[in-house]
Amino acid sequence: MNTTSLTPSTKTSRYTILDREGFKIKKFLSQWEMLLALLFVVVFIANSLLLPNFFDLYNLADSTFNFSEKALIALPMALLIICREIDISVSGILALSSVAMGLAQRYGMPPQGLLFVALGTGTLCGWLNGFLVTRFALPSIVVTIGSVSLFRGLASVVLGDQAFTGYPQLLVDWGQGYFFDVIPREFIVLLVFAALFAGVLHMTGWGRRIYAIGNNPVAAGFAGISVNRYRLALFMLTGTMAGLAGYLLTGRIGSTRPNIAMGWELEIITMVILGGVSIAGGAGTIGSVLLAVLTLGMVTYGLALANIPGIIMTIVVGVLLLITIAVPRLLGGKKTKK
């Protein structure tokens, strides 16, 4: 008699081990960060194999210019969406901040003051959005759809068909400059702010209150959290970061144009949602948003090296967003109705 044959109990334990391993793999892939990390590795390897100039250090460094300003706005946008709000007006805030800088320079503002003009303009625009949302209980998506037209309309009225140019060297150095002649200053600014936002959101009581508001604003209010103050602060913070992005973008392109940052709001929101921040609020991390930013950056950088038209880039980004949303739900299985 063959003693090496598997007994029923042995077979059962063997299947149990396989089921556990399958569950671990499914759980691993269903996490946003793990899925994005896997996607980033796939994109990086594919670009490395298909594009001979992909690993050029200077090309890789310069590719960060394409997403650093947008990512700076994506950081506070993530907090805002976690808090069940949204700001569609960020591109209009950026444009108006840039116009304010141009006007300030025309009337003799010193170069060192232009940053404060941009930050102040952005903060004021963010306050207006937050005031309308919190004071009159208006939906933020409706308010900011209206305010983006207001902000960009004001910028267009001031500019007309002209452009502000001749910005000081200090502004150009921050928009186009490098640290150690290799790493763009904008990218270092992004990393510093990403670390600050991550620390605030994940390591402080302020961040825990944001999650609480996003999960249940009514319960958060009963728990003593000033929900509207947090919402107003987040709108102002988003405006401030849009002003900072406007400062850097204006320095990078060296001018303020009527169409500056046109359409950026959708790309910024895509970065946040692709990073796993729940549009329903209460969930998301800064690390996953930054990983989504880097993944999209590598995708667009590779497509640009391959001379792929911009419309194809838009399609690819949309497909990546749909895949990243759908795969965790498919791996997690269908929810049963109660």
- Between CA 180 and CA 191 the distance in angstroms is 16
**Partners of 256 in the beta sheet?**
164
b/e sequence 137-158, b meaning 16+ C-beta within 10 Å: eeebeebbeebbeebbebbeeb
| Class of residue 218 by CB neighbours under 10 A (exposed 0-12, middle 13-18, buried 19+) | exposed
Higher pLDDT, 12 or 133: 133
Segment 20-62, tens digit of pLDDT: 554 454 454 447 788 788 888 998 899 888 888 888 888 889 9
Segment 257-300, tens digit of pLDDT: 989 999 899 889 889 988 989 888 899 999 999 999 998 898 88
Residue 54 CB partners (closer than 8 Å, separation 6+)? 47, 48, 60, 301, 302, 305
SS3 label, residue 159: helix
pLDDT value at 6 more than 70: no
Give pLDDT, residue 28.
47
- Between CA 321 and CA 338 the distance in angstroms is 30
Give pLDDT, residue 331.
60
- CATH number for domain 34-328, candidates 1.10.287.3510, 3.40.50.1820, 1.10.3470.10, 3.20.20.60: 1.10.3470.10
| Position 119 confidence tier, pLDDT thresholds 50, 70, 90 | very high
pLDDT value at 144 more than 90: yes
| Position 180 confidence tier, pLDDT thresholds 50, 70, 90 | confident
Least confident of 7-16, 35-44, 240-249: 7-16
Residue 18 CB partners (closer than 8 Å, separation 6+)? none
Mean per-residue pLDDT of the chain: 87
Cα-based angle 110, 112, 117 (whole degrees, multiple of 5)? 85
Contact predicate 50/169, CB 8 Å = no
Q: What is the DSSP string of 280-317?
A: TSS---HHHHHHHHHHHHHHHHHHHHTT--HHHHHHHH
Contact predicate 96/125, CB 8 Å = yes
Give pLDDT, residue 322.
75
Cα-based angle 135, 138, 139 (whole degrees, multiple of 5)? 135
Give pLDDT, residue 165.
94
Contact predicate 77/245, CB 8 Å = no
Question: Among candidates 43, 20, 88, 15, which has minimal Cα distance to 297?
Answer: 43
Summarize the chain as % helix, strand, coil (round to 5).
Answer: 75, 0, 25
Give pLDDT, residue 324.
61
Domain ranges of the chain: 34-328
